[in-house]
Amino acid sequence: MQTIWKFLTPRQIIFGSGSSNDIGPFINETDAKKYLIVTGKVVRSAGLLISLEKTLSDNNKSFVIYDGIESEPVVENVRAGLKVFNENYCEEIIALGGGSPLDTAKLISIMVTNDGTITDYRGVDKIPNKGVRVIALPTTAGTGSEVTRYAAVIDKKTSEKMLLTSPYLIADTAIVDPVLTVTCPGLLSAATGIDALTHAIEAYVSAKANPASDIFAIKAIELISASLRDVFSDGKDLGARENVMLGSMYAGIAFSNASVALVHGMSRLIGGFFGIGHGLSNAALLGNVMEFSYLGNILRYKEIAKALGKKIDGHMADEQAAKLSVEAVRELISDLKIPSLKEMGVDKKKLSGVAAGMAEAAIASGSPGNNPKAATKEEIMEIYFKSYE
C-alpha cells in the first residue's frame, strides 16, 4: 500500500528568460503600496535592480532597499531588515539575489507577523503565523530558496547555523529568470550548480522521498549534468543557463519535500569550521559520499547514473551500473575545475583535530538519517579525511 505523502510548492512559479523584466502583473495582485527589496551589494552593483525599480515606479509603488546582508545571513541581518520594513511602513517584500538575500527576506517576512526573535522559531514547523507576501527572484542557480520551505541563519553568539523549516517560508511567488544568472562568475556558477545537483541526488535517495519529489529530482539531475559544463565554459550560453536554472529549481522543489542526506549533514560543518562555501564543500564530499552510499540503494543509484548521462549496457550488473553514478559526478566535478579542500587552504592538522566533533554534529543535524546507508561517526570521519585531497 502506498504511504501517505505531502507535496508543497510556491503558490505560483513563473519561469523563463526575460520573465523578470515586467513583474507588474504579480505586484498588482494585491493593493500593497510599499515594498521592502531585500538584495545583495553584488547584485545591486551588477545592475540587476534597475528593471525591478522601474517596474515598481511604473506601477506607482514605492520601495526601500535593504542590502546589508553578510555573505551568509546572521540573526542581526534579519533584525536590521525587519527594522527597515517597519520604520518605512512596508507591506510586502521582494527578494532579489542568491540564497542569502532570499533566505533573509523569507525570515523578515515571518518576523513581521510573529513575536520574539528569529531564534525562537528554529527547527521544524515552529512558526505560528504566515508572514507578509514574498516575491522571490533568484540570481544564482543553486540554493533553490525561491521554492523551498527552508531558511538558514547564523547565530553569531553560538556560531550555530540554524535551519528553520515551515510552509510559511515558501515564497508566495517565485519568478525564475535565467538571464539574471548570466553575470554569475564561472567558479560560483559551478559551485552553486553542484549544490543544486547534490540537492537532487540526495532528494532522490532520501528516506523521505515521495513519488512527486522523485519526478523533480531525476529531471533536475538530467538538466544540471547535461548543461553545467557549458555554463562553466561560456557563462553567456543562455540555453545552458536555462537548463541549469530549471534544474536548480526542480532540485529545490525535490529537496524541499524529500529533504537532504549525508552530504549536506557533513558539508554544513566544513562551512562552519573552515569558512568554505556551501557548493564547494558539497563538491568535495559528493563523490565520496556516493561511493559510500550506493550499495544502500543500488536501483536508485543506477537511475542516477543514467540521468547523469552514463550509458548502461543491458547486460551490466545493477551494482556495476549504480557505481557509474559515482564516476559520473567525479568526472563532472573534475571538468568544472573545482578546487579540493586542500587547495582551498583547509588545514589538515585542524581537520584531524575537529573531525570527531564535526562527525558528531553532522549526525545530530538529522540529515544523515535520510541517507540510504547509515554512517557511523568513524565512517563520517573517514569520508572527511578522504575528501581532503
Write out the residues near Fe ion by the rule CB under 5 A. 195
Closer residue to Fe ion, CB minimum distance, 56 or 383: 383
CB of 201 to Fe ion, least distance (A): 11
Q: Which of these, 66, 32, 33, 34, lies nearest to 49 by C-alpha position?
A: 66
Closer residue to Fe ion, CB minimum distance, 39 or 148: 148
Closer residue to Fe ion, CB minimum distance, 103 or 195: 195
Closer residue to Fe ion, CB minimum distance, 92 or 287: 287
**What are 122-125's contacts with CB under 8 Å, separation 24+?**
122/162, 122/163, 122/164, 123/163, 123/164, 123/165, 124/165, 124/166, 125/165, 125/166, 125/167
Interhelix angle for 211-233 vs 186-205, to 10°?
A: 160
CB of 30 to Fe ion, least distance (A): 31
Per DSSP, helices labelled H in the chain are 24-27, 41-45, 50-58, 75-87, 99-113, 186-205, 211-233, 238-258, 262-274, 278-293, 298-307, 318-335, 348-364, 377-386
Closer residue to Fe ion, CB minimum distance, 195 or 214: 195
Closer residue to Fe ion, CB minimum distance, 67 or 195: 195
Q: What's the CA gap between 34 and 26, in Å, rounded?
A: 14
CB of 230 to Fe ion, least distance (A): 22
Instruction: List the grid coordinates of 319.
Output: 551494482
CB of 100 to Fe ion, least distance (A): 13
Closer residue to Fe ion, CB minimum distance, 251 or 326: 251
CB of 163 to Fe ion, least distance (A): 11
Instruction: List the grid coordinates of 71.
Output: 555573505
Q: What's the CA gap between 9 and 253, in Å, rounded?
A: 7
Q: How far is CA 227 from CA 194, 216, 239, in A?
A: 12, 17, 8
CB of 231 to Fe ion, least distance (A): 18
Closer residue to Fe ion, CB minimum distance, 192 or 243: 192
CB of 39 to Fe ion, least distance (A): 21
CB of 199 to Fe ion, least distance (A): 6
Answer yes or no: are the C-beta atoms of 131 and 110 closer than 8 Å. Answer: yes
Q: Which of these, 316, 258, 308, 314, lies nearest to 287 by C-alpha position?
A: 308
Give the torsion through C-alpha atoms of 111, 114, 119, 124, to 10 deg.
-110
Query: 3-class SS at 137?
Result: strand
Answer yes or no: are the C-beta atoms of 374 and 367 closer than 8 Å. Answer: no
For Fe ion, the nearest residue by Cβ is: 195
Q: What's the CA gap between 253 and 204, in Å, rounded?
A: 12
Closer residue to Fe ion, CB minimum distance, 145 or 325: 145
Answer yes or no: are the C-beta atoms of 244 and 190 closer than 8 Å. Answer: no
CB of 45 to Fe ion, least distance (A): 25
Instruction: List the grid coordinates of 143.
Output: 540554493
